[in-house]
Structure 1
Amino acid sequence: MSQTTRKHTTTLAGEEVTYEVSRSDDATQPRIDAGIDGITVVLPASLDEDPETVLMENAGWVLEKKTKFDQYRADIPDRTFEAGERFPYLGEDHELIIEPRQKSEVVDQTIRLRQSAVDQSSVERALRNFYRREAREYLSKRLDQFAGGMELDYDGVQIRNQRTRWGSCSTNGTISLNWRLLMAPPEVIDYVVVHELAHLREPNHTDAFWSLVAEYIPGYETHEDWLEENSTRLVFSADDL
């Protein structure tokens, strides 16, 4: 489990940086997560360390990421959540259609939402629920397939609304994956799945870890770069930020 505190502000090399602090039971050492939603300092729950010290020690990296993601924010889709709008599904844009039907599903390059689901909440909520349902089914299948090939056992999967990470692997073997991954291309999704499964064997990003990832996802660097360069395409709504 993790708990995030309110936003803080500090100054790095003369530049003001806003960040959050998260304490995690799964973290074994301090780390900094940087994304289009901002900077988060993740600290082990049992470690008494000043988050500003962690930021100062990595000031160059933090400022580089901040500049990049500030630029990315300008490219965030301005979604209106109306019929006819296009949303990515497994890397390809699909037209949103709202109609009377028994189940929301993908049909011939369209996402067809059940009218009653929209009437009971909103287009945005109905579409979010659709993505989460589809993500659970799709990601679970990919996890099972790769876990079998890698001869690894994981202890369940959680489809989460993570703000700064695409996936994580807890110390007890539970894999958590971000439902927004369903908007990414299949090969990118497979990279994230294998990345998290590899942590079951190699907890840290050692050479052995990356060799294991490369064994099952040759050229994984391409997919890693795609995620970094196309994060804005996977922003669902302003609530993500």
Structure 2
Amino acid sequence: MRISKNTIKLREYSIPYSIELRDVKYARIEILPTKKIRLIFPKGLENIDNKKILNEHKEWLKKRIQRIDESLKKIGFSWNKIGEHEIVFGKRYQLRIYRSYYDSVFFEGSIISVSVRDIDNALNYLRSIIYAEFSKKVETFTNFFARKMNVEVKKISIKKQKNIWGSCSTKGNININFRAAILSDELLMFLIAHEVAHLQHPNHGPGFKQLLSSFFEDIKEKNDLLEAFWFISHSSKIFSFE
């Protein structure tokens, strides 16, 4: 895979983009949650005019970024302000890390204070504290919606994932991304309800939408907010893990 990098001006933002040559049939353009654009071309197209391709899709890219920006502004962010704050369970914080003789975490007002003996382990220690609370929420919300939807959840797993908020399997297993600890309880419940609903309706057809709508009225709004938080999570010190 060969990669080259450059930037493109879209609206008021100068956005990095990369070109990748892969074993694929068709070219595609992606807007990544890391605030970058990726152009993927089939191998053998080394001499393609990537600037021409970008210009042809410039209006689409502008509209896409504008939509993301509008969703970000609903939660007090914008494209160029992602990463300025940490968010945990839907609340905004500044992160402070200190060296100490003992390990502790305090959520005080708008500050997360992490005191650790090993500075290099500070984020992992904080994640372990968040994980303990998050796992309780996930289990409680999953069991609640499983009862309401009359489905059986065999196993609940929390994973560190880069590409999806969550998933379910035909075996009745529910997987939730640890990144979802960035969400408020309301949005986390929506995300979990979405996955549990798939145990009854595998696709996003009318039955699935009707079931989800029986619990939540503003589905489009919540999906827009999930997209905004997805971008924020990838610039977070706490949740931007590999």
Tell me the distance in 2 between the aligned counterparts of 1:227 and 1:218.
Answer: 15
CA shift at 1:174, angstroms?
A: 0.8
Residue type matched to 1:231 in 2? Answer: W
Residue of structure 2 in register with 1:139 after alignment: 138
SS in 2 for 1:168: strand
Q: Are 1:113 and 2:114 matched, yes or no?
A: yes
1:143-222 aligned at under 5 Å gives the runs: 143-222=142-221
> 1:66-81, aligned counterparts within 5 Å?
68=64, 74-77=80-83
1:35 and 1:69 in contact (8 A); partners too: no
Equivalent residue of 1:152, what SS?
coil
Displacement, 1:66? 10
Q: Which deviates more from structure 2 when the two are superposed, residues 130-139 or residues 152-161?
A: 130-139
Tell me by how many angstroms 1:108 deviates.
4.9
In 2, the alpha carbon distance for the partners of 1:194 and 1:19 equals 38
What is the CA deviation profile of residues 45-102 of structure 1, one whole-angstrom value per residue up to 9, with x for unaligned ones? xxxxxx97xxxxxxx99x9579846987755416xxxxxxx52122111344556667
8 A contact 1:168–1:177 mirrored in 2: yes
**8 Å contact 2:116–2:122 — kept in the other structure?**
no
Give me the whole-angstrom Cα distance separating, in 2, the residues matched to 1:226 and 1:194: 15
> Highest CA radius of gyration, 1 or 2?
2
Tell me the distance in 1 between the aligned counterparts of 2:146 and 2:241: 30
TM-score by length of 1: 0.62
The SS at the match of 1:122 is helix
Using the size of structure 2 for normalisation, the TM-score is 0.62
1:162-220 Cα offsets, whole Å, 9 max, x none, are: 11110100121111111111112221111100000000000111111011111112222
The code of the aligned residue for 2:33 comes to I
SS at match of 1:216: coil
Pick aligned residue for 2:33 from 36, 56, 69? 36
For structure 2, the 5+ residue unaligned runs are: 5-16, 24-29, 43-55, 70-78
How much does 1:103 deviate? 5.3
Partner of 1:89: 88
Return the alpha-carbon distance in structure 2 between the equivalents of residues 157 and 100 of structure 1: 36
- Aligned-residue identity in percent: 20
Measure, in 2, the Cα distance between the counterparts of 1:170 and 1:66. Answer: 36
Residue identity in the other structure for 1:209: F
Gaps of 5+ in 1: 1-5, 10-14, 22-32, 41-50, 53-59, 79-85
CA distance in 2, matches of 1:173, 1:8: 40
Q: Which moved more, 1:65-74 or 1:96-105?
A: 65-74
Counterpart residue type for residue 180 of structure 1: R
Following superposition, the deviation at residue 39 of structure 1 comes to 9.5
Q: Distance in 2 between matches of 1:109 and 1:240?
A: 23
Report the number of matched residues: 194
SS at match of 1:172: coil
2: CA distance, partners of 1:204 / 1:104: 41
- Compared CA separation, residues 95 and 213, structure 1 to 2 (3 A): same
User: Map of 1:14-29 to 2, 5 A cutoff?
Assistant: 18=20
- The whole-number CA distance in structure 2 between the counterparts of 1:113 and 1:138 is 22
